[in-house]
Amino acid sequence: MTRLATLAAALLIPLAAPWAALAEETKEIGHVNTALTNLGLTRSHQIVIERFDDPKIEGVSCYIAQARTGGLKGMVGVAEDPARFALSCTATGPVRVSEAARRSEKGERVYESATSLFFKETRVHRFLDEERSVVVYMAWSTKLVDGSPYNAVAVVPMR
């Protein structure tokens, strides 16, 4: 039975780890433990801060803080993380918009992170408001809560 549990955990952990499928690089900046689980024998509930750079907008970095579920389910990657997050984006140099950046009402997805084993993600879309010379980032959860997904917005001037 122990071998079976070890094998199941080994197969599930790579599937459940959060990923940034679109941003070129995602880096964990840090985390805080928000609640101890199982007397400290398993990973605690956490808020994790990650940084990603927009692949088509030079000079912009975004920071997203997300709740991560701990406990045994969180350790093996089968827990569903809460759909709660915060987003902040900043200019880290001259902001240059690539010609390849999508300019439409629907924006362009620049980041996604799995928040459950199946079907639930946190996504960040980029919108260009060229009339006001700003880049707008919107984070949202694919899980509907009371008919509307959680969301957050950050704005970076293009000057």
Residues lower than pLDDT 50 in the chain: 1-21
What pLDDT is recorded for position 55?
A: 92
What pLDDT is recorded for position 148?
A: 74
Cβ proximity of 109 and 71 under 8 Å = no
What pLDDT is recorded for position 10?
A: 41
Q: Is the pTM of this model over 0.85?
A: no
Beta strands in 37-118 (DSSP E): 45-53, 57-68, 85-97, 108-114
What pLDDT is recorded for position 74?
A: 65
Cβ proximity of 66 and 143 under 8 Å = no
Name the nearest CA neighbour of 142 among 151, 131, 129: 151
What pLDDT is recorded for position 116?
A: 67
CA distance 59 to 48: 23
Cα dihedral 15→110→85→127 (10° resolution): -160
Rounded mean pLDDT of the chain? 80
pLDDT digits (tens, 9 = 90+) for 137-152: 999 988 766 777 889 9
The DSSP result for 21-50, as a single string, is SSSS-EEEEEEEEEE--GGGTSPPEEEEEE
What pLDDT is recorded for position 129?
A: 96
